[in-house]
Structure 1
Amino acid sequence: MLRQQYSLEKLRSTLIPSNQWRPFPVAADRQAWSAVPTAVREAYLAEAAQKHGYAWPELPATLFMGYARKGNRSEYEAVYFQRRTTLFTLTIAEAIDGQGQYLDDIINGVWALCEESFWGLPAHNNNIHGYPLPDIDEPIVDLFAAETAAQLAWIAYLHRDALDKVSPVIVRRIQDEIRRRIHRPCQQRTDFWWMGYAGGALNNWTPWIVSNWLNCLLLVEDDQHLRATMIHKAITALDRFLDKHPSDGGCDEGPGYWGRAGASVFDCLELLFLASNGAINVYDQPLIKKLGEYFVKIHIADDWMVNFADAAARVGASPTLLYAFGQRVDSPDLRQMGLWASQRPIDAAARIPSSLRVLSGLFTFNEPYQAATTAIQAPYLRYAWLDVIEVLTARDQAGRSDGLFLAAKGGHNAESHNHNDVGSFIVYAKGRPLCVDAGVDTYSKKTFSGQRYDLWAMQSAYHSLLPVIDDVQQQPGGRFRASAVQATDNVQESSLSLDIASAYPPEAKIASWHRSITLVRGRGVRVVDDFALREPVKTITLRLLTPSLISEDAPGKFRLRTQALPNAGAAADGALTMSPALPMTTESLPMLPAGKLAGVWGDALQAMVFTWEAPPQTGRLETWITLA
Structure 2
Amino acid sequence: MRNVLQTQLPEDEIADILTTTAGRPVLPPMGSPPWTDLRRHPVFASWFEEILAGGSASAAEPLPELTDDLYARFYQTGERIPFERVYFERRKRLVSTAMAMLLGGADDRDTLKAPFLSMLEDVAGEESWSVPAHVWTRPDGKDPMMIDLMAAGTAVGLAEMLVLFREIIPEDLALGIRNRLRVRIFENYLHRDPPFHWAELPMNWNAVCHHGVLAAALAIEDDHRLVAGMLARAARALPVFLSGFGNDGSTSEGPGYWAFGFGRFSELNSRLEQRTNGELSLFEKDPRIPLIARFAPQLTLSNGRFVNFSDGSATGWLPPALLVDLGRRLDDPFLTAHGIASYRQLARVGFAPLHQRVDTFCITQTLLRLPSSEAIERTPPPEQPDAYFPDYGALVARGTDAAGNLWEFAAKAGHNAEHHNHNDCGSFLLNVNGQPVVVEIGAPEYVGDYFNSDETRYTFLAARSLGHSVPLINGHEQQAGAEFRSTVVEHGFQRDFVSISMDLTKAYPDEACCTRLIRTFRFLRNQGCLEVRDEYSLTEAGRVESMIIQRSLPGTENASVAPVIVPMPGTDFAGHTLESYRDHGGGSRHVCRSCFRASSASKSGTVGIRIQFESPDQPHGNEFLTIAL
Q: Is the 8 A contact 1:66 1:76 kept in 2?
A: yes
Q: Is the 8 A contact 2:517 2:536 kept in 1?
A: yes
**Superposed counterparts of 1:32-431, under 5 Å:** 32-36=35-39, 37-99=44-106, 100=109, 101-126=111-136, 130-136=138-144, 139-164=145-170, 168-189=171-192, 190-196=194-200, 201-281=201-281, 282-344=283-345, 345=349, 346-349=351-354, 351-363=356-368, 365-367=369-371, 371-372=375-376, 374=377, 378-396=381-399, 402-431=405-434
**Partner Cα separation in structure 2 for residue 417 and residue 179 of structure 1:** 32
Q: Is the 8 A contact 2:533 2:608 kept in 1?
A: yes
**Partner Cα separation in structure 1 for residue 340 and residue 210 of structure 2:** 28
Q: Is the 8 A contact 1:30 1:98 kept in 2?
A: no
Q: CA RMSD for the aligned pairs?
A: 2.5
Partner of 1:488: 492
The CA deviation at 1:527 is 1.0
**Partner Cα separation in structure 2 for residue 561 and residue 544 of structure 1:** 19
Q: Is the 8 A contact 2:80 2:133 kept in 1?
A: yes
**Partner Cα separation in structure 2 for residue 31 and residue 441 of structure 1:** 40
Q: Per the alignment, do residues 195 and 562 of structure 1 end up closer, same or farther by CA in structure 2, a change over 3 Å counting?
A: farther
**Partner Cα separation in structure 1 for residue 606 and residue 382 of structure 2:** 37
The CA deviation at 1:85 is 0.9
- Please give the secondary structure, in 1, of the residue aligned with 2:167: helix
Partner of 2:581: 591
Q: Per the alignment, do residues 445 and 514 of structure 1 end up closer, same or farther by CA in structure 2, a change over 3 Å counting?
A: same
- Please give the secondary structure, in 1, of the residue aligned with 2:114: helix
**Partner Cα separation in structure 1 for residue 18 and residue 373 of structure 2:** 31
- Please give the secondary structure, in 2, of the residue aligned with 1:103: helix
Q: Which amino acid aligns with 1:85?
A: K
Partner of 1:577: 566
Q: Is the 8 A contact 1:48 1:90 kept in 2?
A: yes
**Partner Cα separation in structure 1 for residue 53 and residue 179 of structure 2:** 33
Percent identical pairs in the alignment equals: 25
Q: Which amino acid aligns with 2:148?
A: D
Structure 1 residues without counterparts, runs of 5 or longer: 552-558, 564-571
Partner of 2:524: 520
Pair 1:626 & 2:612 matched: yes
Partner of 1:617: 603
Q: Is the 8 A contact 1:6 1:280 kept in 2?
A: no
The CA deviation at 1:33 is 2.8
Q: Which amino acid aligns with 2:220?
A: V
Output one character per residue of 1:369-420: Cα deviation in whole Å (capped at 9) or x when no partner.
6644x2655424231011111110000159x994211100011000000000
Output one character per residue of 1:7-56: Cα deviation in whole Å (capped at 9) or x when no partner.
13442233366861213210142674343432343332121122232321
**Partner Cα separation in structure 2 for residue 377 and residue 306 of structure 1:** 22
- Please give the secondary structure, in 1, of the residue aligned with 2:59: coil
**Partner Cα separation in structure 1 for residue 337 and residue 34 of structure 2:** 30
Q: Is the 8 A contact 1:317 1:341 kept in 2?
A: yes
**Partner Cα separation in structure 2 for residue 17 and residue 366 of structure 1:** 31
**Range with greater deviation from structure 2 (335-344 or 579-588):** 579-588
Q: Is the 8 A contact 1:323 1:368 kept in 2?
A: no
**Partner Cα separation in structure 1 for residue 557 and residue 382 of structure 2:** 28
The CA deviation at 1:135 is 3.9
The CA deviation at 1:174 is 1.1
- Please give the secondary structure, in 2, of the residue aligned with 1:270: helix
The CA deviation at 1:239 is 1.8
Q: Per the alignment, do residues 80 and 401 of structure 1 end up closer, same or farther by CA in structure 2, a change over 3 Å counting?
A: farther
The CA deviation at 1:318 is 2.0
**Partner Cα separation in structure 1 for residue 445 and residue 311 of structure 2:** 10
Q: Is the 8 A contact 1:322 1:335 kept in 2?
A: yes
Q: Per the alignment, do residues 47 and 585 of structure 1 end up closer, same or farther by CA in structure 2, a change over 3 Å counting?
A: same
Q: Is the 8 A contact 2:576 2:595 kept in 1?
A: yes
Q: Which amino acid aligns with 2:607?
A: L
The CA deviation at 1:338 is 1.1
Q: Per the alignment, do residues 9 and 388 of structure 1 end up closer, same or farther by CA in structure 2, a change over 3 Å counting?
A: farther
Output one character per residue of 1:477-529: Cα deviation in whole Å (capped at 9) or x when no partner.
11111135332212122222111010111011110100111211212111111
Q: Per the alignment, do residues 72 and 370 of structure 1 end up closer, same or farther by CA in structure 2, a change over 3 Å counting?
A: farther
**Partner Cα separation in structure 2 for residue 326 and residue 562 of structure 1:** 43
**Partner Cα separation in structure 2 for residue 361 and residue 118 of structure 1:** 28
**Range with greater deviation from structure 2 (501-510 or 583-592):** 583-592
**Partner Cα separation in structure 2 for residue 549 and residue 453 of structure 1:** 24
Q: Is the 8 A contact 1:149 1:212 kept in 2?
A: yes
**Partner Cα separation in structure 2 for residue 485 and residue 547 of structure 1:** 30
The CA deviation at 1:243 is 3.1
**Partner Cα separation in structure 2 for residue 214 and residue 448 of structure 1:** 28
Q: Per the alignment, do residues 452 and 221 of structure 1 end up closer, same or farther by CA in structure 2, a change over 3 Å counting?
A: same
**Partner Cα separation in structure 2 for residue 380 and residue 54 of structure 1:** 47
**Partner Cα separation in structure 2 for residue 387 and residue 469 of structure 1:** 26
Structure 2 residues without counterparts, runs of 5 or longer: 615-629
**Partner Cα separation in structure 2 for residue 582 and residue 519 of structure 1:** 21
**Partner Cα separation in structure 2 for residue 437 and residue 527 of structure 1:** 16
Q: Which amino acid aligns with 2:147?
A: V
**Range with greater deviation from structure 2 (572-581 or 388-397):** 572-581
Partner of 1:567: none
**Partner Cα separation in structure 1 for residue 373 and residue 93 of structure 2:** 23
**Partner Cα separation in structure 2 for residue 20 and residue 54 of structure 1:** 37
- Please give the secondary structure, in 1, of the residue aligned with 2:532: strand
Q: Which amino acid aligns with 2:328?
A: Q
Q: Per the alignment, do residues 615 and 368 of structure 1 end up closer, same or farther by CA in structure 2, a change over 3 Å counting?
A: farther
The CA deviation at 1:288 is 1.1
Partner of 1:26: 29
Aligned length: 593
Q: Per the alignment, do residues 388 and 499 of structure 1 end up closer, same or farther by CA in structure 2, a change over 3 Å counting?
A: same
The CA deviation at 1:170 is 1.1
Partner of 1:4: 6
Q: Is the 8 A contact 2:541 2:604 kept in 1?
A: no
Q: Per the alignment, do residues 121 and 613 of structure 1 end up closer, same or farther by CA in structure 2, a change over 3 Å counting?
A: farther
Q: Is the 8 A contact 2:574 2:596 kept in 1?
A: yes
- Please give the secondary structure, in 2, of the residue aligned with 1:259: helix
Q: Which amino acid aligns with 2:214?
A: L
- Please give the secondary structure, in 2, of the residue aligned with 1:247: coil
**Partner Cα separation in structure 1 for residue 212 and residue 160 of structure 2:** 11
**Range with greater deviation from structure 2 (272-281 or 440-449):** 272-281
Task: Report the TM-score, using the length of structure 1 for normalisation.
Answer: 0.89
Q: Which amino acid aligns with 2:531?
A: R
Q: Is the 8 A contact 1:408 1:425 kept in 2?
A: yes
Task: Report the TM-score, using the length of structure 2 for normalisation.
Answer: 0.89
Give structure 1 regions of 4+ aligned residues with deviation exceeding 6 angstroms. none
**Partner Cα separation in structure 1 for residue 372 and residue 507 of structure 2:** 44
Q: Which amino acid aligns with 2:168?
A: A
The CA deviation at 1:6 is 5.6
**Partner Cα separation in structure 2 for residue 64 and residue 401 of structure 1:** 53
**Partner Cα separation in structure 2 for residue 349 and residue 64 of structure 1:** 23
Q: Per the alignment, do residues 16 and 471 of structure 1 end up closer, same or farther by CA in structure 2, a change over 3 Å counting?
A: farther
